[in-house]
A = this chain, B = another copy of it.
Amino acid sequence: MEQRIEKIKKQLHSQSYKLTPQREATVRVLLEHEEDHLSAEDVYLLVKEKAPEIGLATVYRTLELLSELKVVDKINFGDGVSRYDLRKEGAEHFHHHLVCVECGSVEEIVEDLLTDVESQVEKDWGFQVKDHRLTFHGVCKKCQVETVKSS
């Protein structure tokens, strides 16, 4: 945890940004909820527990900044809100998501499944791929079981 904060601090410094207490608190919340796909509001409420004086605008500004630095990725599952997801340690690409249409749960896939597909896109469309967003919509393991039960 501390190491990852240290690393982010360096990333900020390298662009002459500071890791202020507010920014640090925000990053800590993200680290503690790495699997949770928090919205800006979610982050705000969680940060507020530790640092009640923080403003929502600061959270937005911080998330925006972290987004530029590629520390987090801003994602959107189609409900009205943006969600913010920490990049995995050393991950070069965005990870994938499995969104369950039954229960709304979101599972993460860290593996990069798209190496072959990316080569194909570069070859066949002449498009130089830098990153990707992949989300599958379907029925998660748990809900499949429950469907069987109830039928």
Contact = CB atoms under 8 A, between A and B. Distances in A.
Interface residues of A, number: 34
Nearest to A147: B128
A136 B137 CA distance: 18
A127 B107 contact: yes
Contact of A126 (B113, B117, B133, B144): B144
Given A78-B74, A117-B114, A126 B141 contact: yes
A129 B134 CA distance: 12
Contact of A132 (B121, B135, B144): B135
Interface of A: 74, 76, 78, 82, 98, 100-101, 107, 109, 113-114, 116-118, 120-121, 125-141, 144
